[in-house]
Structure 1
Amino acid sequence: MTSSFEALLPGTERALLHRVATAQAEGRTPSLVGAVARDGRMVWEGGRSCVVGHAPDADTQYRIGSITKPFTAVLVMRLRDEGLLDLGDPLERHLPGTGVGDVTIAQLLCHSSGLAAESPSPWWERTPGTGRPALADVLGERPVLHPAGRRHHYSNTGYTLLGSLVQAVRGVPWEEALAVEVLEPLGLERTTIRPVTPHAGGWAVHPWADVMLPEPLEDLGLMAPAGQLWSTAADLCRFAAFLAEGDERVLGAETLREMRTPAVAPEAGDWDGGYGLGLQLVRRDGRALVGHSGSLPGFVAGLWMSVEDGVAAVVLANATSGPLPGVVAADLVRIVAEAEPRMPAPWRPLPEIDPTLLELTGPWYWGTYSYGLRVLAGGGVELCPLRGPGRASRFRAEPDGTWTGLDGYYAGETLRVVRREDGSVSHLDVGSFAFTREPYGPEDAVPGGVDPDGWRGL
């Protein structure tokens, strides 16, 4: 999508750089790079480093840890869209012998499978993947800790299983499927399984002294689909644009919208966070953000986007702990969204409209609740309460003349126009509810009928 903006204003750029500089200094990290994309195009980058006269740029690779998970989820959703599996399928149907019971693919994607968070000792992020040559080594003797589907429990091992699922269904290794099906079509040339120069080295900074030591850079083996990837701020800005808008060569916009929809309740006490299908969902400063955070020894990373504002931000750093890239990335989104709010598209009339659709617009009544129906672009309609909160929903037109709910209370429900024998509109049937032109009109098709004496005073 072509941006409707030019470069950011100098004041906005100064605020962004100040936030990145503060994060690097207060987080005590050897280097940190941030980037912002607006309407699908990177419009700012800035970096800081402990090396005088040198700073990383948006083409410098960092390890991104669990930001690998959305890439793996995209591969799984492609299999679903191709009809090769269903998200409700038990994993064992496509990958037998794992020992995880009836855990479904959807539950693995949204971390409600009940699987353990980590593989058995030793610490998988800091030891070679060759030490876990089989899924049994990754899962251990007690892979399931909670009843499937009952709670959100983040699981790295679950994404190992999803990577193995991709390999089983595609017949090629996870990394090969990723390169061919996602990285190449999206032009993510600097997103790789192993580091490619220029890249940052991973460091641990002492918590009580300004000294540091290098972290090992291990190949994760079977755990790779949970956190193996290296990438750049520029590539992740491109990936964020894809997650917001879709790309028919990889996944369509409707599937990406499904991935961004909450799929599991958040942990108790964390009602500002949730998880979709491979994507973390948070609310910061009243703004809904979608993306993912990531960490591996020596690296931390964050990617957040506000689809409504058309703004995405990436923050990458090379320290085991210290800065919180997720917090910093959310701040970068806020800075741009508040300083330079998105310009609305110019209003334009519809090119044409069906007169039979136009006659459906205006007020409707469900009992005594008043609603308004308006026409949307593409032949869809929107039904909204006229006073106070209520069951607002948008509907997509179907070939048979009905509409299907897209969101809100009526998501998935059918809106149908019921006509009288003479062809005039009697009422709207919305998921079995009758919406009439008058509140309990004597001639209206109101379930249960209308008192023949009509409306009256006290």
Structure 2
Amino acid sequence: MTTPAELLPATRRALLHRIAVAQRDGRAPSLCAAVGRDGKLVWTGSRTSVDGRGPDEDVQYRIGSITKTFTAVLVLRLRDEGLLDLADPLEKHLPGTGAGDVTIAQLLAHTGGLAAETPGEWWERSSATLRPTLAEVLGEQPFRHPVGRRHHYSNPGYTLLGSLVEAVRGVPWEEALRGEILEPLGLSRTSVSAQAPHAGGWAVHPYADVLLPEPSEDLGLMAPAGQLWSTARDLTAFAAFLTTGDDRVLSAESVREMRTPAAPTLPGDWEASYGLGMQVVRGGGRTLAGHTGSLPGFVAGLWLSEEDGLTAVALANCTSGLPAATVAADLLRIVAEAEPRIPEPWRPLPEVDPAVLELTGPWYWGTQVVALRLTADGGVDLGPAAGAGRRSRFRANGDGTWTGLDGYYAGEVLRAVRRQDGSVSHLDLGSFVFTREPYGPDAPVPGGVDAEGWRGLPQ
């Protein structure tokens, strides 16, 4: 990958203009933003109501529910180590909660049917001592919907996931977070409590340009749902990790799984979904993954576009009024449209297995023609020879078979069936038979092929 060049002056000005308008119209005491390209920080900017005191990319803000993505990474690490399965009920690893029938995957995707908030006082503005146990976090009636039927955002659900991490790891959530994510990724300015320099949280009067300081509570058991403080620089690095993975923390395949929609969409909101600890939105021909966050005094947004190789972060210290998620998405769009990603040069494969090469080209599923192509990573791609239709990428399994990575055939196994003389008879994919010609007379098509073959319609 080539080193990303500095953004063009016109692009930098457009980014500055966007955050200047956002800070003014959102009446935020301060706003700090950043853009990353191909894993590198390429732009930062800030606006502030105090002359000469603009925050830089290393000033901490509270990031609210972006914390959930960090917690989700910890859970996926446990899965990848074989310590749990996402299909496991919570009760298997964290008994006695009263919500034990919910699976770990459902908690990650907010499809467990749990309440959005805790019972009692507004948890973000009250002492954690009011909720010393999971019983106080969940209350006597923790469910609002049938389990697994719909997406219903749940802060208590992520408290359960944080407690799950502690139960399986045997260490506090904070310790696991620091040792398994923050230190390996070099996120030295991300922490559970504020570290100077940091912004103060403010509420802005809705009808007057006056301020009120917001309290900054330690969230206690709710920390895995929204405790963290971070910076534009650290979050840009975290977003880069969420794009490509890092084997010291989580593989590319696992972060891709996090970015894959796992929850049903809500009526009227077909362009937004939720993966495993990450929001997924579609618009303007672009798919973004990331998370939004808010706590009293702070709003935050983090988005990435894998296709564009871009990440964007926006942080502000106001309770409401400034849509940080929209600002971050706009920053990403500005760069993507002004400076489209320059593709890597085409290069031939260094080597190819002749037995795989002979499988390339056209195949027929019934009368529909598809094409099998080799991919640069050693896998194959199967999709329409032309036009729209089912398309999937496949990973080589090392035994002459391939497993689908996406699309209709995700998880399905593709294999070449050979005759006794070693020649290829057909491809088998999830019981579908793909042949070299449409309904050839010797094709092993289920149900057989009419012996009289193709014919015209008698007049």
Structure-1 residue corresponding to 2:319: 320
Structure-2 residue corresponding to 1:345: 344
**Residue by residue, what CA displacement relative to the aligned partner does 1:315-369 show, whole Å, maximum 9, x if unpaired?**
0000000110000000000000010011111011111111111111111101000
Matches within 5 A, 1:123-202: 123-202=122-201
Judge conservation of contact 1:3–1:40 (CA < 8 Å) in 2.
Answer: no
| TM-score for both structures, normalised by structure 1 | 0.98
Judge conservation of contact 1:3–1:41 (CA < 8 Å) in 2.
Answer: no
What secondary structure does 1:453 align onto? coil
List 4+ stretches of structure 1 deviating above 2 A: 2-5
Q: How many residues align?
A: 457
What secondary structure does 1:377 align onto? coil
Structure-2 residue corresponding to 1:244: 243
Matches within 5 A, 1:337-376: 337-376=336-375
Report the residue type matching 2:267 in the other structure. Answer: A
Judge conservation of contact 1:3–1:38 (CA < 8 Å) in 2.
Answer: no
Structure-1 residue corresponding to 2:405: 406
Structure-2 residue corresponding to 1:416: 415
Give the fraction of aligned pairs with identical amino acids, expressed as a percent: 72
| TM-score for both structures, normalised by structure 2 | 0.98
Judge conservation of contact 1:157–1:226 (CA < 8 Å) in 2.
Answer: yes
Structure-2 residue corresponding to 1:305: 304
Structure-2 residue corresponding to 1:23: 22
Distance verdict in 2 for CA 1:308–1:446, change over 3 Å:
same
Residue 3 of structure 1 deviates from its aligned partner by 4.8
Using the alignment, how far apart are the partners of 1:291 and 1:3 within structure 2?
Answer: 25
Using the alignment, how far apart are the partners of 1:45 and 1:28 within structure 2?
Answer: 20
Residue 378 of structure 1 deviates from its aligned partner by 3.4
* Residue 267 of structure 1 pairs with residue 266 of structure 2: yes
* Residue 387 of structure 1 pairs with residue 386 of structure 2: yes
Using the alignment, how far apart are the partners of 1:23 and 1:379 within structure 2?
Answer: 46
Residue 294 of structure 1 deviates from its aligned partner by 0.2
Report the residue type matching 2:400 in the other structure. Answer: G
Residue 283 of structure 1 deviates from its aligned partner by 1.1
Distance verdict in 2 for CA 1:378–1:387, change over 3 Å:
closer
Using the alignment, how far apart are the partners of 2:27 and 2:120 within structure 1?
Answer: 29
**Residue by residue, what CA displacement relative to the aligned partner does 1:264-290 show, whole Å, maximum 9, x if unpaired?**
112221111000000000113221000
Structure 1 unaligned blocks of 5 or more: none
Moved more, 183-192 or 410-419: 410-419
Structure-2 residue corresponding to 1:226: 225
Structure-1 residue corresponding to 2:275: 276
Report the residue type matching 2:319 in the other structure. Answer: T
Structure-2 residue corresponding to 1:53: 52
Structure-1 residue corresponding to 2:202: 203
Using the alignment, how far apart are the partners of 1:204 and 1:220 within structure 2?
Answer: 19
Structure 2 unaligned blocks of 5 or more: none
Using the alignment, how far apart are the partners of 2:419 and 2:122 within structure 1?
Answer: 70
Report the residue type matching 2:137 in the other structure. Answer: V
Report the residue type matching 2:206 in the other structure. Answer: P
Judge conservation of contact 2:32–2:45 (CA < 8 Å) in 1.
Answer: yes
Using the alignment, how far apart are the partners of 1:148 and 1:253 within structure 2?
Answer: 30
Judge conservation of contact 1:152–1:266 (CA < 8 Å) in 2.
Answer: yes
**Residue by residue, what CA displacement relative to the aligned partner does 1:93-138 show, whole Å, maximum 9, x if unpaired?**
1111100141111100000000000001210000111221111111
Using the alignment, how far apart are the partners of 1:281 and 1:161 within structure 2?
Answer: 22
Structure-2 residue corresponding to 1:107: 106
Moved more, 91-100 or 372-381: 372-381
**CA RMSD after TM alignment:** 0.9
Using the alignment, how far apart are the partners of 1:166 and 1:361 within structure 2?
Answer: 45
Using the alignment, how far apart are the partners of 2:371 and 2:106 within structure 1?
Answer: 38
Report the residue type matching 1:78 in the other structure. Answer: R
